[in-house]
Amino acid sequence: MPKAIRFNHLGGPEVLHFEDVPERQPGAGEVLLKVEAVGLNRAESMYFHGLYMEKANLPSGLGYEAVGKVIAVGPDVDPTLIGKRFGTIPGFSMKQYPVLAEEAIVQANVLAAVPDSFSVVEGAAVWMQYCTAYGALVAFGKVAAGDFAIITAASSSVGLAAIQIVKAQGGISIATTRTSAKKGRLLALGADHVIVTEEEDLVARVQSITGGKGARVVFDPVGGDYINTLAQATAGGGTIFLYGMLAGKPTPFPMAAFGRHIGMFGYTFGELRGTPEWETMKKYIYDRLADGSFKPEIARTFTFDQTVEAYRYLESNEQIGKIVITL
């Protein structure tokens, strides 16, 4: 029987444990993956803590972002997929399709190819981060040449993907980090500017960098009261994309937005699913991975039996880039 990571009650990483699960066959529209690696995301941590927008039905599995080979397909799925390696594009239900397991059933329409030159570790570090950044910065934000974009929590995998996408669009990235420990690395990974928020005045620095204009786009996964500071650094007519809830408390509409035509949107890239932009997004990302202009940064890898340790590391906020579990 294949092993899977499960949890029976809410809490920290310590609630995660291995279980033998029954072998399953894919149904209509589904495939069975032999999982080779899984990328970790804040979404899973929030899920087993009980803080995610999708609430777990206990006991539950988890995991969004796998890479592996198709070993069986449902009756209406192309059989030529068998034997090929794919990644999964997150945004589906972890209740129905958890992937942190030796084998995982997923819907065929969440599969996406990764370049043959990629290792399985790199393949597990693609779709959540680049799709999340693409939706806000390209599909909705339409970052273009000369645009300034503030990227908070910039050392996360999504933050690093956002830096690369802003550069690809001809924009200028302003990355933020709480302490100076990560500043040099963020600059080396392509950020045009880095603001250390515990040591510098974000609004003053953004005004200096932008020549007083402010940033046209803000890309933030944190929320909370700091949103008003971000709004003060946003250009008139600009947009704040809130794609996470890491502050763990309500996010007020910023007073600094009034009278300046600043918009704030709660955003998930799943909004693109089922639209023509979905395939455009996949091609945009794949082509830039293949030509080397996009490159996922791997913070650290863990083995399957180190899953609890891997999520503890995720929650430490020490990492720069993606954490990946190999099976």
Q: Is the pLDDT of residue 208 over 90?
A: yes
Q: Quick one: 153 and 205 in the same domain?
A: yes
pLDDT band at 100 (very low <50, low <70, confident <90, very high): very high
- Provide DSSP, 173-194: EEEEESSGGGHHHHHHTT-SEE
119 pLDDT more than 90: yes
pLDDT at residue number 157: 95
Whether 248 is covered by a domain: the verdict is: yes
Virtual torsion, Cα 280, 283, 289, 292, nearest 10 deg: -90
Per-residue pLDDT at 247? 85
Shared-domain flag, residues 265 and 136: yes
93 CB-contact burial (10 Å; exposed 0-12 / middle 13-18 / buried 19+)? exposed
Same-domain check for residues 119 and 139:
no
Sign of the four-CA dihedral 322, 220, 127, 91 = positive
Same domain for 140 and 267, yes or no, is: yes
- Whole-prediction pTM: 0.94
Question: Is the model's pLDDT at 121 over the cut of 90?
Answer: yes
Banded model confidence at residue 268, pLDDT cuts 50, 70, 90: confident
Same domain, 139 and 107: no
Residue 246 has pLDDT above 90, yes or no: no
User: Could you say which of 228, 256, 271 is where a domain stops?
Assistant: 271
Evaluate whether residue 287 is within a structural domain. Answer: no
- Please tell me the distance from the alpha carbon of residue 186 to that of residue 136, in angstroms, as a whole number: 21
User: Would you state the torsion angle of the CA atoms of residues 293, 271, 276, 280, taken in this order, to the nearest 10 degrees?
Assistant: 0
Residue with tokens 């990571």: 5
Let me know whether 302 and 256 are in one domain: no
In a domain, 278, yes or no: no
Average pLDDT, the chain: 95
Phi, psi at residue 75, to the nearest 5°? -65, -20
Q: What is the pLDDT of residue 248?
A: 83
Query: Is 24 contained in some domain?
Result: yes
Q: What is the CATH number of the domain that holds 37?
A: 3.90.180.10
Residues 140 and 173 in one domain: yes
Mean pLDDT of 91-120: 94
| 144-187: pLDDT as tens digits | 999 999 999 999 999 999 999 999 999 999 999 999 999 999 99
Give domain status of residue 44, yes or no.
yes
**Domain limits for position 82:** 3-126+296-326
pLDDT of residue 16: 98
Tell whether 121 and 185 lie within a shared domain.
Answer: no
**Same domain, residue pair 198 and 235:** yes
Q: How far apart are CA 315 and CA 325, in angstroms?
A: 15
Supply the pLDDT for residue 50. Answer: 94
Q: How far apart are CA 181 and CA 2, in angstroms?
A: 41
d(CA 45, CA 64): 11
Whether 151 and 227 map to the same domain: the answer is yes
**DSSP label at residue 101:** B
pLDDT number for residue 229: 97
* CATH number for position 228: 3.40.50.720
- The percentage of the chain sitting over the pLDDT mark of 90, rounded to a whole number, equals 92
CA distance 271 to 24: 30
Cis peptide before 254 (omega within 30 of 0): no
The fraction of the chain above a pLDDT of 70, given in percent, is 100
| 13/112 same-domain check | yes
Region 265-270: mean pLDDT is 88
289 lies in a domain? Answer: no
Find the range with the poorest average confidence among 200-204, 217-221, 271-275, 280-284. Answer: 271-275
For position 84, what pLDDT does the model report? 96
Same domain, 10 and 68: yes
pLDDT tens per residue across span 10-60 = 999 999 999 999 999 999 999 999 999 999 999 999 999 998 889 999 999
| Whole-number Å distance between alpha carbons of 190 and 174 | 10
Q: Tell me which of 231, 256, 271 is where a domain ends.
A: 271
Q: Quick check: 37 and 65 in contact, CB under 8 A?
A: no
What's the pLDDT at 307? 98
Number of domains in the chain: 2
State residue 300's pLDDT score. Answer: 97
Q: Is residue 284 part of a domain?
A: no
Task: Tell me if residue 244 falls in helix, strand or coil.
Answer: coil
Helix (H, G, I), strand (E, B) or coil at 126: coil
pLDDT of residue 261: 93
pLDDT at 2 over 90: yes
Q: 5: which 2 tokens?
A: 């990571």
285 Cβ neighbours under 8 A, 6+ residues apart: 126, 127, 130, 131, 134, 294
Amino acid at 181: A
Q: What is the pLDDT of residue 31?
A: 98
91 has a pLDDT exceeding 90: no
Domain membership flag for residue 256: yes
At residue 254, the pLDDT reads: 92
Average pLDDT over residues 222-239: 96
